[in-house]
A and B are shown apart, each in its own frame.
Chain A
Amino acid sequence: MADNVTNIINEIKDIASGILEKDISTVRGFSERQVEAIAKQTVIIQEGIANGDIDEDLREFFLDGLEAMALNFVNTLKGILMVTLEKLWNALVNFLYKAVGVVV
């Protein structure tokens, strides 16, 4: 009984770690790229406003753009996490059902 419980716990940990490690590295890469690109974009807009390349009308457009890209950055992370949760969920449910002898 105790051995079985330990085996199940270890299997669950392995399944979860396998999925999470791979997905988290993708999320980390995406986040780093986005944060750097949004920071660069902010500087370009500042410099453009300062030297007159970006007029009042474009200034409003790019500021709205910055807000939209920050919002969608968070929504993209949320979307990615839903996929990870789905993979995790299905892998664990499959394993648990197999463990009790149910075919999903």
Chain B
Amino acid sequence: MQSIKFHFSFIAFFSIALFAGCEATLAPAYDQAIVEKVTESSDLAMRFFAEVDGGTESESFAQREAVYNVLIGAFESLKLQAKARPIPENVALDKINELLQAKGSSAISGEYPSAFAFEKIAETFKKMKQTDRENGIKPLALQAFKGQVEIFLDQAITYESFLKR
């Protein structure tokens, strides 16, 4: 049974390959500029978290406002750069999308996981800025902001680095 399944997958793969008739592009191109900018911005973000370690008081918000603006701008710009890459389009990808949709999965689109992660990081810094301005940030809230940024950064960096093939 396992062998029949394997042969079916094998035949399906090569039918699509022959139908496509050439090399396939299923993911966006690697962009060195994005990787360099995300490295630089994540370094700035981590240094900022180190500076405010332990929490903040709203009275001193003005000292940090400029850094928040730089971080929000950097990650929004990264989101635009990541989204700006063309979506790979060819016969092979069309066939894979048809198969994915037939199985009830969403098709591969221009919603790159790194662009989504950059957007969420920018939103996190916006919320952090608002909280800091209004009430200051308490220690565990600060840890949660940091954790959220780190998790999305890991997703974006892993995906963007993986595009180098």
Main secondary structure of the interface of A (DSSP, over half): helix
Partner of A54, one of B14, B26, B141, B152: B141
Contact with A along B22-52 (1 / 0, CB 8 A): 1111110000000000000000000000000
B144 touching A37, Cβ below 8 Å: no
Supposing A47-B140, A89-B92 touch, asked if A68 and B120 sit within 8 A by C-beta, the answer is yes
Per-residue contact bits, chain A 23-52, to B (CB 8 Å; 1 contact, 0 not)? 000100010011001101100110110011
Which B residues are within 8 Å of any A CB, using their own CB? Answer: 13-14, 17, 22-27, 92, 96, 108, 111-113, 116-117, 120, 124, 127, 131, 138-141, 143-144, 147-148, 150-152, 154-155, 158-159, 162-163, 165
**Which residues of chain B have C-beta atoms less than 8 A from A80's C-beta?**
158-159, 162
Given A89-B17, A90-B24, A53–B158 Cβ distance below 8 Å? no
Complexed CA–CA distance, A58 and B113 (Å): 24
Q: Is the CB of B27 within 8 A of A58?
A: no
Residue of A nearest to B23 (CB): A90
**Is B140 a contact of A61 with CB atoms below 8 Å?**
no
Partner of B113, one of A47, A72, A87: A72
Contacts of B24 in A (CB 8 A): 86, 89-90, 93
A34 to B152, CA, bound (A): 9
Task: Tell whether A20 is near chain B: CB-to-CB under 8 Å.
Answer: no
Q: How far is the CA of A72 from the CA of B112 in the complex (A)?
A: 9
A41 CA to B149 CA, complexed, in Å: 11
A69 contacts across to B, CB distance below 8 A: 120, 148, 151-152, 155
Interface SS of B by simple majority: helix
Q: Given A47-B140, A65-B124, A72-B120, A40 and B27 touching (CB < 8 A)?
A: no
Partner of B23 from the list A44, A54, A94 (CB cut-off 8 Å) is A94
Given known A-B contacts A45-B144, A53-B139, A72-B155, A82 and B26 have beta carbons under 8 A apart: yes
Among the listed A41, A78, A82, A93, which residue makes an inter-chain contact with B22, where contact means beta carbons less than 8 Å apart?
A: A93
Q: Which residues of B contact A104 (CB under 8 A)?
A: 22-23
CB–CB A89/B26 < 8 A: yes
- Residues of chain A contacted by B152 (CB below 8 angstroms): 69, 72
> For residue A82, which residues in chain B have a CB less than 8 angstroms away from its CB?
26-27, 108
Chain A residue numbers with a CB within 8 Å of B151 are: 34, 37-38, 41, 69
Docked-complex contact A73 and B155, CB < 8 angstroms: yes
Nearest neighbor of A26 in chain B, beta-carbon distance: B162
Q: Is A18 an interface residue when CB atoms closer than 8 A count as contact?
A: no
**Other A-B pairs beyond A41-B144, A58-B144, 19, CB < 8 Å:** A30-B158, A34-B155, A41-B147, A44-B140, A48-B141, A54-B144, A58-B131, A62-B144, A68-B116, A72-B116, A76-B113, A78-B113, A79-B112, A79-B162, A80-B158, A85-B96, A86-B26, A86-B27, A93-B24
